[in-house]
Structure 1
Amino acid sequence: MSTTKLHYTTPGLDEADAIRVIDLLQSRLHATNDLHLTLKHVHWNVVGPQFIAVHEMIDPQVEAVRAMADDLAERIATLGGAPRGTPGALVAERSWDDYSIGRASTQDHLEALDVVYRGVVTSYRENIDELEKLDPVTQDLLIGQTEKLELFHWFVRAHLEDASGRLRTDQ
């Protein structure tokens, strides 16, 4: 059961649908806030022979994912909701475990990021499917963000792939 309260909603979207869309957006907001913090953590804690390549690859992802979070929060507000962006709300409402790797090799972090991106992209795609009938405007927002997330996931996976196309994380 949702606890979302509406102040109003956008014309053409009924209240029950608006509440469901806001709840979906809130889950994506938590995911992107968590992801950009995790990416920054990796940026600070990665070590090893490929350090500079991974260190420099991560920062543009951090900035893009932060911008995604802002767009999600503004869409929640546009639909009459109140985005919850505090660390406490994120931790209390998320359905995944905290990123557990500290200072570690590039391969360790990239393998862990592969798992993180798999989860984020999968949940985005599930929400896109549900939004098809609920709100195509919000669906379009998530589709655009998914394209960027999949690109960033590919950047990570390219470091994990061998010459035959097999990923180290599929072993």
Structure 2
Amino acid sequence: MSAIRGPLSDEARTVTGKALQGMVVDLTDLSLVAKQLHWNVIGRSFRSVHLQLDQVVDIARRYTDEAAERAVAIGVNPDGQVGTIAGQSKIQAVEPGFIQDEKVIRAMTDILADVITRMRERMDTTEQPDPVTQDLVIQVIRELEMQHWMFQAMV
């Protein structure tokens, strides 16, 4: 039993906790994949792609922490351990080594689209049990959709 118990019912805490854990997994892995691409991008658009990837990393890391702290605030223990992230992530791994900028742009566009789809599902599932968490999900979606648009515009 958690020593921290928020105002949510057990059912609402379960639904919301699952959404928040999914956010922790998606955002942690998104930051790792974006950093991997950041280190290995090459090509004519190197600098702009390199810098844009750092923005994705910053957003993902900031909101990972917010999602994890929201989970704790409602009495749910987040799990950001590497084994959990590796076992639960739905983000496709990227190829090792140097990657041409155009491939990086396409990969990030696809990855962001997938993460956004899952975030929108979490937005829907948290609407009734916890509008506060839904607000956090909406903030994440807003930031990720802007990044998605920016990567699409580079193609």
TM-score of the superposition, structure 2-length normalised?
Answer: 0.94
Q: Does 1:137 align with 2:108?
A: no
Q: Equivalents in 2 of 1:96, 1:66: separation in Å?
A: 16
**Paired residue type of 1:111:** R
Alignment partner of 2:146 out of 147, 151, 156: 151
Q: Does 1:87 align with 2:92?
A: no
Any idea what SS the aligned residue of 1:59 has? Answer: helix
Q: Equivalents in 2 of 1:49, 1:97: separation in Å?
A: 25
Q: Does 1:78 align with 2:98?
A: no
Q: 4+ residue runs of structure 1 moved beyond 6 angstroms?
A: none
**Structure number with bigger Rg:** 1
Q: Does 1:114 align with 2:109?
A: yes
Percent of residue pairs identical = 31
User: What RMSD, in angstroms, separates the aligned Cα atoms of the two structures?
Assistant: 1.4
Q: Does 1:10 align with 2:6?
A: yes
| Highest RCO, 1 vs 2 (Cα 8 Å, sep ≥ 6) | 2
CA contact under 8 A between 1:33 and 1:69: conserved in structure 2?
yes
Any idea what SS the aligned residue of 1:134 has? Answer: coil
Q: Which moved more, 1:94-103 or 1:22-31?
A: 94-103
TM superposition shift of 1:98: 2.3
Q: Equivalents in 1 of 2:75, 2:94: separation in Å?
A: 32
Q: Does 1:19 align with 2:23?
A: no
The residue number in structure 2 matching 1:58 is: 53
**Paired residue type of 1:116:** I
TM superposition shift of 1:119: 0.4
TM superposition shift of 1:73: 0.5
TM-score of the superposition, structure 1-length normalised?
Answer: 0.85
CA contact under 8 A between 2:15 and 2:126: conserved in structure 1?
no
Alignment partner of 2:98 out of 100, 103, 106: 103
The residue number in structure 2 matching 1:166 is: none
Stretches of structure 2 that go unaligned for 5 or more consecutive residues are none
TM superposition shift of 1:61: 2.1
Would you say how many aligned residue pairs link Structure 1 and Structure 2? 155
Any idea what SS the aligned residue of 1:43 has? Answer: helix
Q: Equivalents in 2 of 1:96, 1:107: separation in Å?
A: 19
